[in-house]
């Protein structure tokens, strides 16, 4: 069934594909977790990033603006929310959801739906709050920190909602991450000043304009004065950083 409310990504999703491209190292972690299972359901499928290309895949995505950005080569996709999947019981060998869980209106119901339609593993790529509660971006954008805290779920709670424990695979974010989600530029701080960059990140796009503008002013000032480098410059030599992102694998 199509969504009854206008999906958030119909408001903020235009231009998503200009900055959001599958990162090969994150893709590899997700594909390893999916194993050989098929067909695969991709929930919150967006423009098709991270969908395996060696087997049958079906996307489920509520936002028309996102569905319209799926390239012609992408898997077929239906307009649907996780909470109401138009598929039969165990219709899929595996399911995946990438950076989408924190957007669902009713996460427990969505997870129950994923379990219902999937016979094999349910694979989620998401940020857990426990391993790294906060990092430098939150210092500049406290509204982003609050938004993220309100959207994230503990591993214990997720496991309770799915009804089974998860295998947890840490995914450090590469210094040259090609997928522009909000942690992607942890060692490229100037990037956050670019509107095309922050518009592709819900955690910065959805905060009040005044909070975002104040954070941008402070970040710009600290980059110009050297204050950012004095405090965070030690990060610049790292090849990757654990910012709490994990692949979670539920089930067989
Ligand atoms: C950050 S994007 C990720 C898209 C894609 N998975 C990727 O990795 O590029 C989050 C996606 O979740 C979708 N979404 C939001 N609420 C949803 C829901 N209740 N059920 C399924 N998808 C949802 C959004 O429309 C958006 O396309």
CATH value at residue 152 = 3.40.50.150
N-term to C-term CA, the chain: 29
Number of domains into which the chain is organized: 1
94 is a domain residue: yes
pLDDT at 182 over 90: yes
Instruction: Report pLDDT for 252.
Output: 74
77 is a domain residue: yes
Q: At 184, is the pLDDT very low, low, confident or very high (cuts 50, 70, 90)?
A: very high
CA 234 vs. chain centroid, Å, equals 26
| Residues whose CB falls within 8 Å of the CB of residue 67, separated by 6 or more in sequence, listed in order | 61, 77, 79
1 is a domain residue: no
CB atoms within 10 A of CB 174: 19
Instruction: Report pLDDT for 5.
Output: 75
Structural domain including 232 reads 8-250
Ligand 1 atom nearest 45 alpha carbon: 6
Mean pLDDT score, 173-193: 97
Token duo for residue 167? 């295998």
34 is a domain residue: yes
User: Which of 14, 22, 47, 61 is the best mutation target for the ligand 1 pocket, counting ligand atoms within 8 Å of the beta carbon and taking the most?
Assistant: 61
Q: At 227, is the pLDDT very low, low, confident or very high (cuts 50, 70, 90)?
A: very high
User: Which of 23, 44, 71 is the best mutation target for the ligand 1 pocket, counting ligand atoms within 8 Å of the beta carbon and taking the most?
Assistant: 44
Distance 97 CA to ligand 1 centre (A): 8
Cis peptide, bond prior to residue 52, ω within 30 of zero: no
pLDDT at 2 over 50: no
Lining residues, ligand 1, CB within 6 Å:
7, 9, 20, 43-47, 49-50, 61-63, 66, 81-83, 98-100, 103-105, 110
Q: At 1, is the pLDDT very low, low, confident or very high (cuts 50, 70, 90)?
A: very low
User: Which of 18, 41, 74, 103 is the best mutation target for the ligand 1 pocket, counting ligand atoms within 8 Å of the beta carbon and taking the most?
Assistant: 103
Mean pLDDT score, 226-251: 97
* Ligand 1 atom 27: residue of nearest CA: 46
2 is a domain residue: no
Mean pLDDT of the chain, nearest integer:
96
pLDDT at 214 over 60: yes
63 is a domain residue: yes
| Residues whose CB falls within 8 Å of the CB of residue 28, separated by 6 or more in sequence, listed in order | none
pLDDT at 103 over 60: yes
Q: How many Å apart are CA 56 and CA 42, to the nearest integer?
A: 11
Distance 230 CA to ligand 1 centre (A): 37
Instruction: Report pLDDT for 6.
Output: 86
Q: Do the strands 40-43 and 240-241 form a parallel or antiparallel pair, or are they unpaired?
A: unpaired
Whether the full predicted model's pTM is greater than 0.85, yes or no, is yes
Instruction: Report pLDDT for 105.
Output: 96
**Angle 129-177-144 (CA atoms, 0-180°, nearest 5)?**
40
pLDDT at 169 over 50: yes
91 is a domain residue: yes
Mean pLDDT score, 27-41: 97
Q: How far is CA 176 from CA 48, 99, 198, 209, 244, in A?
A: 21, 18, 17, 28, 17
Per DSSP, which regions of the chain are E strands?
40-43, 57-60, 77-78, 94-98, 122-127, 166-170, 173-174, 240-241, 245-250
Distance 82 CA to ligand 1 centre (A): 9
3 is a domain residue: no
- Over residues 107-154, the pLDDT tens digits come to 999 999 999 999 999 999 999 999 999 999 999 999 999 999 999 999
């Amino acid at each position: 069934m199509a969504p009854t409310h206008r999906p958030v990504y119909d408001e903020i999703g235009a231009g998503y594909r200009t900055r959001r491209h599958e990162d090969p190292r994150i893709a590899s972690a997700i594909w390893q977790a999916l194993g050989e299972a098929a067909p695969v359901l991709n929930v919150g499928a967006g423009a098709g990033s991270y969908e395996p290309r060696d087997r049958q895949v079906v996307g489920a995505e509520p936002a028309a603006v996102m569905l319209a950005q799926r390239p012609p080569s992408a898997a077929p996709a239906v307009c649907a929310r996780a909470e109401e999947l138009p598929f039969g019981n165990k219709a899929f060998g595996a399911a995946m959801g990438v950076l989408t869980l924190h957007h669902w209106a009713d996460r427990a119901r969505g997870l129950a739906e994923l379990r219902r339609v999937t016979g094999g593993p349910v694979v989620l790529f998401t940020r857990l709050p426990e391993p790294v509660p906060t990092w430098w971006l939150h210092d500049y954008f406290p509204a982003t920190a609050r938004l993220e805290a309100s959207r994230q779920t503990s591993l214990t709670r997720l496991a309770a909602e799915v009804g089974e424990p998860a295998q947890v695979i840490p995914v450090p974010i590469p210094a040259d991450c090609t997928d522009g989600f909000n942690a992607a530029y942890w060692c490229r701080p100037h990037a956050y000043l670019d509107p095309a960059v922050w518009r592709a990140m819900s955690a910065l796009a959805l905060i009040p304009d005044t909070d975002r503008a104040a954070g941008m002013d402070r970040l710009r000032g600290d980059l110009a004065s050297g204050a950012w480098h004095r405090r965070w410059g030690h990060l610049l030599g790292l090849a990757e950083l654990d910012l709490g992102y994990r692949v979670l694998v539920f089930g067989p």
